[in-house]
Amino acid sequence: MKTNKEIVEHLNSLNIAQTSNWSEDIPEEIWNEQFEDNHHVVATGLNVDKHRWYELSTEVISINGGLIGVRSVTDCFGEESSIEDMRHDLEFFEMKEVSSITYIKA
């Protein structure tokens, strides 16, 4: 099994064009070897970047005891357009957890 750094480098080198949900665009051999039954989603909808016709955001997955981020199209605003129409290449990167403090009414 590859390290997360190796997985990220390999996936980025493939320049995977997003056509649907990112998980469906991963080559089947890589999915079966690295992801299937070996990952779970930790967070979704991070670092939202809205454009005229679509929205990008980051999904964080836990895999191999670490975290990988996937930057992908998560929403399309045109009635006639699809994710594939946005011509976005998936971006993968290692991530780390950072805790923060917030305050609410008592």
Instruction: Say what the pTM is.
Output: 0.87
Q: Where are the domains of the chain?
A: 4-95
**What's the pLDDT at 79?**
81
Q: What is the mean pLDDT of each run of 10 residues along the chain (106 residues)?
A: 92 95 94 91 95 94 96 90 90 95 94
**What's the pLDDT at 30?**
93
**What's the pLDDT at 99?**
92
Question: What is the chain written as a DSSP string?
Answer: ---HHHHHHHHHHTTPBPSSSHHHHS-HHHIIIIITTTEEEEEEEEEEEE-SSEEEEEEEEEETTEEEEEEEEEEE-STT--GGGG--B-EEEEE-----------
